A and B are shown apart, each in its own frame.
Chain A
Amino acid sequence: MTHASATVDMMQPPYPAERGLDVYNTKLGMWVFLASEVMFFAALIGTYVILRFGAPGEWARPGIVLNIKVTAFNTFLLICSSVSMVKAYASIQDGDRQKMRFWLLMTILGGATFVGIQVYEYTHLVERGFLPSGVREGSELAELVAQGTLPAATMGLYGSTFYTMTGFHGFHVTCGVISMTYLFFTKALPGKYTRQDYRGIETVGLYWHFVDLVWIILFTIVYLI
Chain B
Amino acid sequence: MTTVAATAHGAHAHHDDRPFIRKYIFSTDHKIIGIQFLFVSLFFLLVGGLLAMQMRWQLGFPGKPMPGGGILPETMAPGGVILPEYYIQLVTMHGTFMVFFAIMPLLVGVYANFLIPLKIGTHDMAFPRINMWSFWSFFAAGLVMLASLFVPDGAARAGWTMYVPLSARHDLSGASLGQELWSVSIILVGLSSILGSLNYISTIINNRAPGMTWFRLPLSVWSLFITAILGLLALPVLSGAAIMLLFDQVLNTHFFDPAAGGQALLWQHLFWFFGHPEVYILILPAMGMVSDIIANGSRKPIFGYHSMVFAIVAIGFLGWIVWGHHMFVSGMNPTLGSSFMVSTLIIAVPSAVKVFNWMGTMWRGNLKFTVPMLNATAFVAMFVIGGLSGIYMAATPVDMFIHDTYFIVAHIHYVLFGGSLFALFGAIVYWYPKMFGRMMSERWGKVHFWLTFIFYNCTFFPMHITGMAGEMRRLYDPNQYTFLQPYQPMREFISISAFLLFATQLIFFVNFWWSLFKGKKAEQNPWHDNGLEWSLPAPAPHGNWEKVPNVYRGPYEFSHPQAREDYLPQYVKLPTDREPASAPAAAH
B270: A residues at CB distance < 8 A: 43, 47
B208 at interface by CB-CB < 8 Å: yes
Smallest distance from the beta carbon of B98 to chain A beta carbons, Å? 25
A133 at interface by CB-CB < 8 Å: yes
B266: A residues at CB distance < 8 A: 47, 50-51
The CA of A154 and the CA of B84, in the complex, are separated in Å by: 37
The CA of A5 and the CA of B210, in the complex, are separated in Å by: 15
The CA of A29 and the CA of B134, in the complex, are separated in Å by: 14
A140 at interface by CB-CB < 8 Å: no
The CA of A160 and the CA of B207, in the complex, are separated in Å by: 43
B160 at interface by CB-CB < 8 Å: no
A153: B residues at CB distance < 8 A: 261
B441 at interface by CB-CB < 8 Å: no
The CA of A44 and the CA of B240, in the complex, are separated in Å by: 6
A50: B residues at CB distance < 8 A: 263, 266
The CA of A92 and the CA of B175, in the complex, are separated in Å by: 56
The CA of A5 and the CA of B205, in the complex, are separated in Å by: 24
Smallest distance from the beta carbon of B266 to chain A beta carbons, Å? 6
Stretch at the interface among A32-40, A113-121, A192-200: A32-40
A-B contact count (CB 8 A): 147
The CA of A122 and the CA of B75, in the complex, are separated in Å by: 43
CB within 8 A of A43: which of B241, B247, B547, B548?
A: B241
The CA of A20 and the CA of B206, in the complex, are separated in Å by: 4
B201: A residues at CB distance < 8 A: 32
Smallest distance from the beta carbon of B316 to chain A beta carbons, Å? 14
Smallest distance from the beta carbon of A8 to chain B beta carbons, Å? 4
Is B254 a contact of A160 with CB atoms below 8 Å?
yes
The CA of A156 and the CA of B259, in the complex, are separated in Å by: 10
Is A51 a contact of B232 with CB atoms below 8 Å?
no
Centre residue among A18, A23, A40 by max chain B CB count within 10 A? A40
A154: B residues at CB distance < 8 A: 261
Is A29 a contact of B546 with CB atoms below 8 Å?
no
A47: B residues at CB distance < 8 A: 240, 244, 255, 266, 270
Stretch at the interface among B292-300, B377-385, B579-587: B579-587
Binary CB contact string for chain A from 43 to 75 against chain B (1 if under 8 A, 0 otherwise)? 110010011001111000000000000000000
A40: B residues at CB distance < 8 A: 236-237, 239-240
Is A159 a contact of B232 with CB atoms below 8 Å?
no
Is B252 a contact of A19 with CB atoms below 8 Å?
no
Smallest distance from the beta carbon of A222 to chain B beta carbons, Å? 15
A3: B residues at CB distance < 8 A: 546
Q: What band does the interface of chain A fall in when counting residues whose beta carbon is under 8 Å from B?
A: 35 or more
A17 at interface by CB-CB < 8 Å: yes
The CA of A37 and the CA of B198, in the complex, are separated in Å by: 11
Is B206 a contact of A132 with CB atoms below 8 Å?
no
Smallest distance from the beta carbon of B74 to chain A beta carbons, Å? 35
CB within 8 A of A36: which of B208, B210, B233, B582?
A: B233
The CA of A163 and the CA of B198, in the complex, are separated in Å by: 28
The CA of A35 and the CA of B275, in the complex, are separated in Å by: 18
Centre residue among A17, A23, A29, A161 by max chain B CB count within 10 A? A29
B46: A residues at CB distance < 8 A: none
Chain B: which residue is nearest A32 at the CB level? B198
A6 at interface by CB-CB < 8 Å: yes
A20: B residues at CB distance < 8 A: 205-208
Chain A binding surface, main DSSP class: helix
A42 at interface by CB-CB < 8 Å: yes
CB within 8 A of B547: which of A9, A19, A168?
A: A9
Chain B: which residue is nearest A17 at the CB level? B584
Q: Which of B120-176 contact A (CB under 8 A)?
A: 123, 126-127, 130
- CB within 8 Å for A160 and B247 given contacts A5-B587, A32-B201: yes
A160: B residues at CB distance < 8 A: 244, 247, 253-255, 262
A134: B residues at CB distance < 8 A: 254, 260
Is B261 a contact of A132 with CB atoms below 8 Å?
no
- CB within 8 Å for A25 and B206 given contacts A9-B547, A39-B233, A157-B260: yes
Is A164 a contact of B244 with CB atoms below 8 Å?
yes
B202 at interface by CB-CB < 8 Å: yes
B586: A residues at CB distance < 8 A: 5
Chain B: which residue is nearest A46 at the CB level? B270
The CA of A43 and the CA of B237, in the complex, are separated in Å by: 5
Is B547 a contact of A6 with CB atoms below 8 Å?
yes
Is A19 a contact of B582 with CB atoms below 8 Å?
yes
A10 at interface by CB-CB < 8 Å: yes
Is B546 a contact of A6 with CB atoms below 8 Å?
yes
Chain A: which residue is nearest B210 at the CB level? A19
Smallest distance from the beta carbon of A31 to chain B beta carbons, Å? 9
A146 at interface by CB-CB < 8 Å: no
Is A43 a contact of B236 with CB atoms below 8 Å?
yes
The CA of A163 and the CA of B197, in the complex, are separated in Å by: 29
- CB within 8 Å for A133 and B254 given contacts A5-B587, A9-B587: yes
The CA of A111 and the CA of B336, in the complex, are separated in Å by: 44
Chain A: which residue is nearest B546 at the CB level? A6
A28 at interface by CB-CB < 8 Å: yes
Is A7 a contact of B210 with CB atoms below 8 Å?
no
Chain B: which residue is nearest A151 at the CB level? B261
B206: A residues at CB distance < 8 A: 18-21, 23, 25, 28
B454 at interface by CB-CB < 8 Å: no
B543 at interface by CB-CB < 8 Å: yes
CB within 8 A of A28: which of B6, B205, B234, B260?
A: B205
The CA of A5 and the CA of B10, in the complex, are separated in Å by: 11
Q: Which of B243-261 contact A (CB under 8 A)?
A: 243-244, 247, 251-255, 257, 260-261
A225 at interface by CB-CB < 8 Å: no
The CA of A19 and the CA of B197, in the complex, are separated in Å by: 20
Centre residue among A28, A163, A168 by max chain B CB count within 10 A? A28
B584: A residues at CB distance < 8 A: 9, 17
Is A29 a contact of B240 with CB atoms below 8 Å?
no
Chain B: which residue is nearest A18 at the CB level? B206
The CA of A28 and the CA of B127, in the complex, are separated in Å by: 11
B7 at interface by CB-CB < 8 Å: yes
Q: Which of B545-563 contact A (CB under 8 A)?
A: 546-548
Is B198 a contact of A1 with CB atoms below 8 Å?
no
The CA of A69 and the CA of B379, in the complex, are separated in Å by: 62
Is B546 a contact of A9 with CB atoms below 8 Å?
yes
B194 at interface by CB-CB < 8 Å: yes
Q: Which of A119-159 contact B (CB under 8 A)?
A: 132-134, 153-154, 156-157, 159
Is A4 a contact of B588 with CB atoms below 8 Å?
yes
B239: A residues at CB distance < 8 A: 40, 43
Is A37 a contact of B236 with CB atoms below 8 Å?
yes
CB within 8 A of B198: which of A33, A39, A56?
A: A33
- CB within 8 Å for A51 and B261 given contacts A1-B10, A40-B237, A160-B247: yes
Sample of 19 A–B contacts (CB below 8 Å): A4-B588, A10-B14, A10-B123, A25-B207, A33-B194, A36-B198, A42-B237, A47-B266, A54-B263, A55-B261, A132-B253, A133-B251, A133-B254, A153-B261, A156-B260, A160-B253, A160-B254, A160-B262, A164-B247
| Beyond known contacts A29-B198, A36-B236: 13 more, CB 8 A cutoff | A1-B6, A1-B10, A1-B547, A6-B546, A8-B587, A9-B547, A10-B123, A32-B197, A50-B266, A51-B255, A159-B253, A160-B262, A164-B247
Listed from nearest, the 3 A-B pairs whose CB atoms lie closest are: A43-B240, A6-B546, A160-B253
